[in-house]
Chains A and B, each alone.
Chain A
């Protein structure tokens, strides 16, 4: 019985945890500029993330260790130091982007300027992490994350051409602006395959005390949770394609995406967008903050856990506190949240090898995983991700320079 509840909860977490500011921004851009043509990159990234999330969970369930813990132990500090530092910096930027997203959502409903809202949002995110336990966070962000289904319902209302959507699921070459096309494709992958997701998920599995019996549930959560979440991101692409593209609107700022839902919902559309954006980003901000604390505490062997009282894991709390402080300052000082998001997605894509390669080695370690090492399908997918990550590492930065406006 408990396992079924875990499954339901995990699916909700997947739904709530998948769709964040990165997906919102890249989906809106993709739909507005290329209609349904980039759906395939989201589909591809989703397939990869399902496998990687499943591996993260399986690893934690069998070994009792989260990923950062295992990486330092297995590969040593000298190997891990560089990637850890880079990923930490990236996560601070991601946190800044999420906080920027919450600020903009609040700006939509209140009219207050975004930079001014940054300290308020920062304190809010901090309080959530400070005062709640892991399961409370899991449950609340998951349930509220359901509000992002507004995008899916909007798609149903719009009756979009299904054949074109189907065609978009297959890779195709762009008819115009190839640099921008591939730039958005890369940033979509970077938005989906976010490193913080895997560290968060595996650490959460350890917090929830998973063991081998959870392997089946884990598969369900990975597939259905991530799949559902991806559905929301795809819906965002479709809505942007149907609402923004025909009007000639390209998304270079959140203001241009904010009215996306007003065709389908003339009265509620504006508020729905703000609420969906705010909730999605809030959930993600909490996840990124926790993920950073998990990764740092595990790297240095500190005591850790969101279920502990703050006075029981002071250093763990210090990490997310400092991270939130720096990220909030970034927005407070007027950095454009939209541009920050896009830049971060691309850098994240470029840093993927640091994430993908450990998977390949850890998931085939018989000593730790026994009979639960990767099968040939999982290994094939992992190898593909490693190859893709290598390609992305090379092309991401050049693409930003020519394809990003």
Chain B
């Protein structure tokens, strides 16, 4: 589908223009009366893993459950949140810092970067 091809793997930016990951997966809504429609975007390593092989996905999910900072395996962004689709990026009406997309970033900032010289506020 053209639209899926246009959005899949595209860079996402939040309402302030900050990078917040890429569209790793797309959820389609199959409608009886008309062509399928994009319901939501999915973000996450697990989503990417599934595209390679389901077994990679389950292995990564296992790792994530045990070691990851992420609370959810897949972060879903509903289509309604899309503000603008540009050449090269998709802007969504969210603040990246408040989304799971930044889980690792914030964890690293708090627990690692802050303790290293030059990493503080």
A379 sits at the interface (CB 8 A): no
Chain A residue numbers with a CB within 8 Å of B119 are 309-311
How many angstroms from the CA of A310 to the CA of B117 in the assembled complex?
10
Secondary structure at chain A's binding surface: helix, strand, loop or mixed?
helix
The answer on a CB contact under 8 Å between A73 and B116 is no
A50 to chain B minimum Cβ distance, whole angstroms, is 27
Partner of A315, one of B8, B22, B108: B108
Tell whether A65 is near chain B: CB-to-CB under 8 Å: yes
A119 within 8 A of B: no
Chain A contacts for B48, CB-based, 8 A: 77, 81
Which chain B residues border A311 with CB–CB below 8 Å? 109, 113-114, 119-121
Is the CB of A268 closer than 8 A to any CB of chain B?
no
With known contacts A77-B9, A77-B48, A314-B109, A302–B21 Cβ distance under 8 A: yes
Additional A-B contact list (17), CB under 8 Å, known A77-B22, A310-B113: A73-B10, A76-B8, A81-B48, A130-B116, A300-B21, A301-B19, A303-B19, A303-B96, A310-B118, A311-B120, A314-B104, A314-B109, A314-B113, A317-B113, A318-B108, A318-B112, A367-B87
CB of B47, distance to nearest CB on chain A (Å): 9
Q: Nearest residue in A to B45 (C-beta to C-beta)?
A: A300
Within 8 A of B (CB), among A116-144: 130-131
Q: A301-B12, A303-B105 are in contact. Are A73 and B21 (CB under 8 A)?
A: no
**Number of residues from B at the complex interface, CB < 8 A:** 29
Q: How far is the CB of A366 from chain B (nearest CB, A)?
A: 12
A64-B88 contact given A69-B11, A78-B52, CB 8 Å threshold: yes
| 10 closest Cβ pairs, A-B complex | A301-B22, A314-B108, A301-B21, A303-B19, A311-B113, A314-B109, A78-B51, A310-B119, A314-B105, A311-B109
Q: What are 23 pairs between A and B in contact, CB < 8 Å? A: A63-B88, A69-B11, A72-B9, A73-B10, A73-B22, A78-B51, A81-B48, A81-B52, A300-B21, A300-B22, A301-B12, A301-B20, A302-B19, A302-B21, A302-B105, A303-B19, A303-B96, A310-B116, A311-B109, A311-B113, A311-B121, A315-B108, A318-B108
A34 sits at the interface (CB 8 A): no
A298 smallest CB distance to B (angstroms)? 8
Interface residues of B in 57-115 (CB under 8 A from A): 87-88, 96, 104-105, 108-109, 112-114
A304 at the interface (CB under 8 A from B): yes
Q: Which of A72, A78, A314, A315 has the most CB of B within 10 A?
A: A314
Would A315 and B104 count as touching, CB distance under 8 A?
yes
| B18-50 vs A, Cβ < 8 Å mask (1 yes, 0 no) | 111110100000000000000000000000100
| Most chain A beta-carbon neighbours within 10 Å: one of B9, B11, B118 | B9
Residues of chain A within 8 A of B120, CB atoms compared: 311
Closest Cβ neighbor of B23 among chain A residues: A301
Contact pick for A301, options B11, B109, B112, B114, CB 8 Å? B11
Is the CB–CB distance between A77 and B88 below 8 Å? Answer: no
Q: Report which B residues bind A (CB closer than 8 A).
A: 8-12, 18-22, 24, 48, 51-52, 87-88, 96, 104-105, 108-109, 112-114, 116, 118-121
- For B52, list chain A residues within 8 Å (CB): 78, 81
Question: For residue A301, which residue of chain B has the nearest CB?
Answer: B22
**What does the 1/0 interface line of A280-303 toward B look like (CB < 8 Å)?**
000000000000000000001111
- Asked if B118 and A130 make an inter-chain contact with CB atoms under 8 angstroms apart, the answer reads yes
Q: Which residues of B contact A69 (CB under 8 A)?
A: 11
Tell me how far the C-beta of B67 lies from the nearest C-beta in chain A, rounded to whole angstroms. Answer: 15
Given contacts A81-B52, A301-B12, A311-B114, contact A72 B108 (CB under 8 A): no
Q: Which residue of A lies closest to B49 (CB)?
A: A81
> Which residues does chain B contribute within 8 Å of A317, judged by CB atoms?
113
Write the chain B residue with the least CB distance to A312. Answer: B109
User: Smallest distance from the beta carbon of A65 to chain B beta carbons, Å?
Assistant: 6
Q: CB within 8 A of A73: which of B51, B88, B96, B105?
A: B88
In the complex, chain B residues whose CB is within 8 Å of the CB of A368: 87
Distance between B94 CB and nearest chain A CB, rounded to angstroms? 14
Query: What distance in Å separates the Cβ of A321 from its nearest Cβ neighbour in chain B?
Result: 9
Contacts of B9 in A (CB 8 A): 72-73, 76-77
Q: For the complex, what is the distance from the CA of A77 to the CA of B9, rounded to whole Å?
A: 7
Most buried by A among B19, B20, B121: B19
- The CA-CA distance from A329 to B105 in the complex, in Å, is 26
CA distance A146 to B52 in the complex (A): 46
- Beta-carbon contact of B11 and A73 below 8 Å: yes
Known interface pairs A314-B105, A314-B113. Does A65 touch B88 (Cβ–Cβ under 8 Å)? yes
Residues of B within 8 A of A76 (CB): 8-9
Complex Cα–Cα for A300 and B48 (A): 10
Chain A residues with CB under 8 A of B112: 314, 318
In angstroms, Cα B13 to Cα A304, docked, is 13
